[in-house]
Amino acid sequence: MTKERAAQIVGNLGYIIDIDDEIKGLDLVKEIEKLKKEKNAVILAHFYQRPEVQNIADFIGDSLKLSQEAAKTKADMIVFAGVHFMAETAKILSPDKKVLIPDLNAGCSLADSITPEGLKELKEKYPDHMIVSYVNTSAEIKAMTDLICTSSNALRLIQTLPPEQKIIFTPDRNLGYYVKSLLDKSDEEFVIWNGACHVHNGFNKDAFEYMKEKYPTAKLIAHPESPKEILLLADFIGSTSALLKYVTESEDKEFIVATEEGITYQMKKKNPDKIFHVLGSATCACGFCEFMKTITLEKLYLTLKYEVPEIILDKKLIEKAYLPIKRMLSISEKLGY
């Protein structure tokens, strides 16, 4: 197979329909392990990845953990089994390494819900506000940002800022609402960009009530990207890793999970005696991120073998986008997590 053909296959959204003879009959897990060693590569996978992809990863985690791993890895090559902004973040943190993503179509509706032009306009309206952006943003947005945060550290990072500091929070309105509800700030002091993730924003009260009737003792746990009506009903709110920790340490046995279904793979693995229902799964397919699921073992293998597609970013953009991420990582380290 040529490098061009491999690039064509890994660029396909969804499953590979046209599997070339080269892949047929291969023990992909064995081949990927072999290539990883040969190329001194590391595979980072988000919790929303398919189980077989999570199983072959060197590190599985939430956005914060994965960016910390990307910053400290000694590998020559990073293969990011996640979405585009995550691989870009890895490239910003490790500019001298080759960073690959097994499908360039693995985007993120939340990251796409903000544009540099829109943010520039908002900043012009609120020139004294500091821009705090969620990590689910493009490198261009990061370069315009003062402080990056993730769902696991957003509140704690903002609490380290002087209390009078005014903030523009981008791009997730639901996470923004959640953080603001725990701070003493007015709408003018804490301006929220009106963006959302199509997966989390699809969760609603009706789906919850339907499921609660079926599973009356189940506790509702929610990712803060979920809408306000879900966050107000939740027994626990947290990032993917916080949700995993919560269910593992909880005395409760049954949970309704308001986040992407991929996380339940680790939840079930760590808690075989507990039951997990993804919110909406009985009434709709809301808990499914098609971008995360574009990554397959076949694409992972081709990416490692042919070293495509690669994340390429302009050097100046990397330098600018690095500053707010570095700020996040150093505050997180000081706070001890």
Main-chain dihedrals φ then ψ at residue 96, nearest 5 degrees = -85, -5
- Backbone φ/ψ region at 336: left (φ over 0), alpha (ψ -120 to 50), beta: left
Nearer to ligand 13P, 103 or 307 (CB): 103
**What is the DSSP code string of 246-274?**
HHHH-S--EEEEES-TTHHHHHHHH-TTS
Binding mask 252-291 for ligand 13P (x = CB under 6 A): ----------------------------------------
Q: Which of 64, 42, 65, 43 is nearest to 53 (CA)?
A: 43
Nearer to ligand SF4, 83 or 158 (CB): 83
Query: Containing H/E element for 133?
Result: strand 130-134
Query: Containing H/E element for 296?
Result: none
Binding mask 114-143 for ligand 13P (x = CB under 6 A): ----------------------x-------
Instruction: For residue 151, state whether it binds ligand 13P (rule: CB under 6 A).
Output: yes
Nearer to ligand SF4, 151 or 332 (CB): 151
Query: Is 177 in contact with 231 (CB distance < 8 Å)?
Result: yes
Nearer to ligand 13P, 62 or 298 (CB): 62
CA separation, residue 164 to residues 82, 116, 183, 216 (Å): 36, 26, 11, 44
Residues 144, 35: Cα–Cα separation, whole Å = 37
State which of residues 32, 45, 60, 62 lies at the interface with ligand 13P (CB under 6 A): 62
Interface with ligand 13P in residues 158-217 (CB under 6 A): 197
Residue 140 binding: pick among ligand SF4, ligand 13P, none (C-beta 5-8 Å cut-off by kind): none
Nearer to ligand 13P, 73 or 152 (CB): 152
What one-letter code names the amino acid at 144?
M
Nearer to ligand 13P, 170 or 240 (CB): 240
Interface ranges with ligand SF4 (CB under 6 A): 83, 108-110, 136, 197-199, 225, 260, 289, 291-292
Instruction: For residue 67, state whether it binds ligand 13P (rule: CB under 6 A).
Output: no
**What is the DSSP code string of 170-228?**
ESBHHHHHHHHHTS---TTTEEE--B--TTGGG--HHHHHHHHHHSTTPEEEE-TTS-H
Residue 239 binding: pick among ligand 13P, ligand SF4, none (C-beta 5-8 Å cut-off by kind): ligand 13P
**Contact positions toward ligand 13P, by CB under 6 A?**
47, 62-63, 136, 150-151, 197, 223, 225, 239-240
